[in-house]
Amino acid sequence: MKSRAQKTKGAASKPSVWSRPFSLPEGVRTGGCPRPCKPELQLQPKGYTAKATERLLRAKASLIRKLNARRPKAGGMPLDHQSGLLGVDNILSVSIGEKITRGRATGKPCLIIQVKRKSASRVEAALDIARLHPTRKTGVLTDVQATGPIIAHYADGHYRPCACGASMSSQVVQEGTAGCVVSISDGQGGRELCFLGCNHTFAGCNRVPLDDWILQPSPGDGGTFPADAIARLRRFHPLDFSPSAWNEVDCALAATLPELQDGRVYEIGSYSDVPLDKGLVGRQVAKYGTATGLTYGIITDDNVASEVTYTQPVPAVARFRRLLKIAPSGSLPFSRPGDSGALILDAQTRRPIGLVIGGDNAYSYGCRITQVLRVLHARLETLA
């Protein structure tokens, strides 16, 4: 069945036969019961009107400029618009979210100053920064939250064919999630089907060689080679860990065989092949990951700059910008370690928005699917 993108004028025609880039290794398990994929009820977004969102975004930009003004100049030049946040008075980022009072969500959108850890002196310093943006004058609430640093997420059975949301990673990483199915050119006029995931789960933060085997389930969930081999690392966008570099994506592709993939997301079903990249703040989203299953959240910010800490295969820190920040809907977290790579979908239209890359103690973070597809030269496929 042709996808919407393939039906549009000028779109590439779908190949009659998908490429078969490799043969499975001897000793691989080809059986396994696929988990049923079923659509779930969709939830309506709450709490963010267009007018309130616009006011919050203006307030965020204003506070960032004021923070930057307090930074010393680097080489005589102003620092990047958001880079001045990192490391200042223990501040990790300035973003938009829900005000928390005495441990409870108030339902009131606000400007959030996220700090690494709670300590009277450090939180007081952050409050001093917050006073740069007085509530009475601007009409925008502020909140200081000790969320801790963003930690990259890296948690199910052997499934063939395998749907998206299943446990999948390289052999050097313990946990990860398969996000969705995409295709790339095979260089001979055909298309290769690939599972889309994170660099840190499929490529081990640039350390896994191309064509290395990807396992489903991940080693942390009992996966072993060759029994659980399902795909081979085909492409990844390198993560840059240099102190002055900015990253925007954490992504990789693993080529697979047509009969090994399902083309749907567990408990969600099929997804659109038309990504969504505009009007993201306040939008209700859903994802299925191997650690937390099906969860819902709200995008509270779509332009977060912060550091992300990686723990596997070796500890490292990378700076990111243009990250999506997602608050959970309800008491359960939107994601946990093991969910990295999960596809973030609009809860109403099932249009892909991003990939989960990590989370702190309160929020989840993702990179934009449009940027991921661009750097990997890939296109979404909806084969269900």
User: Tell me: the pLDDT tens digits for 274-310?
Assistant: 999 999 999 999 999 999 988 999 999 999 999 999 9
From residue 88, alpha-carbon distances to 73, 114, 151, 197 in Å are 13, 11, 19, 32
Segments making up each domain of the chain, as ranges: 31-40+148-384, 50-147
Pair of tokens at residue 333? 């977290």
The residue-averaged pLDDT of 98-117 equals: 76
Confidence of residue 20 (pLDDT cuts 50, 70, 90): confident
Confidence of residue 11 (pLDDT cuts 50, 70, 90): very low
Tell whether the model's pLDDT for residue 77 goes beyond 60.
no
Confidence of residue 134 (pLDDT cuts 50, 70, 90): low
Look up the CATH number of domain 31-40+148-384.
2.40.10.10
Q: How far, in Å, CA of 322 to CA of 338, rounded?
A: 22
Name the least confident of 26-40, 183-197, 235-249, 327-341: 26-40
Contact between 324 and 248 (Cβ < 8 Å)? no
CA atoms within 13 A on the CB side of 257: 13
Q: How far, in Å, CA of 34 to CA of 162, rounded?
A: 6
Pair of tokens at residue 315? 């500890």
Rg (CA), the chain: 21
Residue 154 pLDDT: 46
Residues present in the chain in total = 384
Pair of tokens at residue 243? 């102190």
Residue 212 one-letter amino acid? D
Pair of tokens at residue 352? 């892909």
Diameter of the chain by CA atoms?
69
Q: Beta-carbon neighbour count of residue 210 at 10 Å?
A: 10
Highest mean pLDDT of the ranges 117-121, 136-140, 141-145, 284-288: 284-288
Helix (H) or strand (E) holding 244: none
The residue-averaged pLDDT of 257-270 equals: 89
Confidence of residue 13 (pLDDT cuts 50, 70, 90): very low
Tell whether the model's pLDDT for residue 132 goes beyond 70.
no
Tell whether the model's pLDDT for residue 14 goes beyond 80.
no
Contact between 291 and 336 (Cβ < 8 Å)? yes
In three-state secondary structure terms, 353 is strand
Q: Which residues contact 296 (CB under 8 A, 6 or more apart)?
A: 43, 284, 285, 286, 328, 329, 330, 334, 347
Confidence of residue 3 (pLDDT cuts 50, 70, 90): very low
Tell whether the model's pLDDT for residue 5 goes beyond 60.
no
Residue 197 pLDDT: 97
Tell whether the model's pLDDT for residue 16 goes beyond 50.
no
